[in-house]
Structure 1
Amino acid sequence: MLLRVRDLEVEFNTSKGVATAVNGMDFDVNRGQALGILGESGSGKSVTARAIMGILDMPPAHIPRGQILLEGEDLLTITPKRHRQLVGSRVSMVFQDALTALNPVHPVGRQIGELYRVHRGYSRRDARAAAIKMMAKVQIPAAASRVNDYPHQFSGGMRQRIVIAMALALDPVLLIADEPTTALDVTVQAQILELLKEQQVERNMGLILITHDISVVKEVTDQVAVMYAGRVIEHGPTADVLARPGHPYSRGLAASIAGEELKGQKLPAIPGTPPDLLHLPQGCSFANRCSFATEKCLQEIPGLEQIDTARHSACFHTSEVMAHANA
């Protein structure tokens, strides 16, 4: 197993109380597998990614329990020195805002080359050559002539390619992409997603794609974990979850995909808003937005239960939800 996350909990201490941003997170990623973590803003997706990378601000963040096993090593308990050896080389991350992820006062080639110098001991000349090669790999035209350009001299799509080049430079076994197509136009989005998938397959990497865009998950991933209010509420093969959801929230997300049959109509929307993480309801966090909810849902929290050989859902009414999908 490449990555195994078990019972991960992340809390934030605020002036108003403790907010549990991630609550009992479980998932696995194998080499060559692409996992999508899907959910609305505030569901805990990016916090999960930052916990894996060890870049949460602590405090106010706190991880009271859980395991993050990368090739058997727990990233939460290893020494800081070993953590620095693994993060950036074995596991790396593509951030959603390329402009802030890059240093504006250094040429992009120097920023990529620095990875080779620090982690591989390359000379300046060799690091520059490796940077050019990596820029070409992510399809930046005339890489050799642009290696000394600064981030502001690139378009948004090209900057994102630079960030991807930095993330891939040290041949990681696991790549985390956090909303990698945010603020890019549709054509560039498609190019970036195609590049990520191409590199994942070519390198046989594990890929975690974090997004609120269900069409992106459909395009790129093999497996999907749907998050709501800090918890995974459904997990399984992407095609199965989107075609026949087992949770009302997943059903609402799947119904929002624009299709030919909805041409000229308003897209279905999930009513209401996610709960306040400082004041989570007693029962299911989705109950007040759910058309299937009963009194039991308001009183008890459903566990993530297996619903077939490859899928899990946290809902008391999974059979009804799935039957409705077939109706």
Structure 2
Amino acid sequence: MVARVFIDGEAGTTGLQIRERLATRTDIELLSIPDHLRKDLSARADLLNSTDAAILCLPDDAARESVSLIENDTTRIIDASSAHRVADGWVYGFAEMDKDQTAKIKSAKRVTNPGCWPQGLIALVRALVEAGLLPADHALTYNGISGYSGGGKSMIADYEAAGAAANVYAPYGLTFNHKHLPEMQRYSALTSTPLFTPSVGNYYKGMLTCVPLQLSTLDKVPTGADLHAAIADHFAGISGGFVEVAPLAPLDRMPELNPQALNDTNNMRLHVFANDARAQACLIAVYDNLGKGASGAAVQNLNLMLGVDEATSLAA
């Protein structure tokens, strides 16, 4: 059976990438809305109610509007905006988050695609909280760098216009009230809000995120091997998926720690670095902000919802 799929907002960065990934599929019929009808609520409502799955690649308010236009109980939704990330009735679309998450996504009518920044934190921290190595109320800091495509069309245009003169490392979110914080806290199993300092680099895509840890502040101090084992055991218990854990290695530097290393894939690679004598560690995630961080995750979730191999249309 061919599934009818409508990408609402297909002209945006994420929408275009999703469409490109799905374009050659024979098990999917991609529905489109003419350019002149994109803001026509009636035309959008007709498509949303006549499709098997709708992928929303829209600003938050427009995504909420699209959901309100659906009047049946058959259209399944993947929302790539942040409108429903912590909303009741929505399943979080990070398939590797827990061993039962893929089953939840498969049966869901409403899936909220994760944000790119939250996925790194969740992948690195949730397993440690669940293993009792990190208290849920620990005062965490989280930082990293992402390509400018994560800022959407306006940021892409600004950076491409500036070229080599663009800022090579631009911290932002300096009011410490980033809209991804509720999502980060909930799905990392934390009870306190992390201190989050994201940055943008002068390159198109790819990201590297870090969780530094002062382990000496904990009542029971874990070793680097303890941290690595908890994270590795978590992902070893999940069949399929795209998250890998690098071997624990006492290295000063390594070429794999490049925010662009996994571009054009749906992979995420996790690293643990530690100095047990100093009781310090740094957890690092590398992935493509437009792949696992956006369009790749959406296609992975769509595959699960359609009952096909979750790696279909996704480069390893």
Larger Rg: 1
Task: Judge same fold: TM > 0.5, yes or no.
Answer: no
Identify the TM-score tier after normalising by the shorter chain: 0.3 to 0.5
Return the TM-score normalized by structure 1. Answer: 0.32
Return the TM-score normalized by structure 2. Answer: 0.32
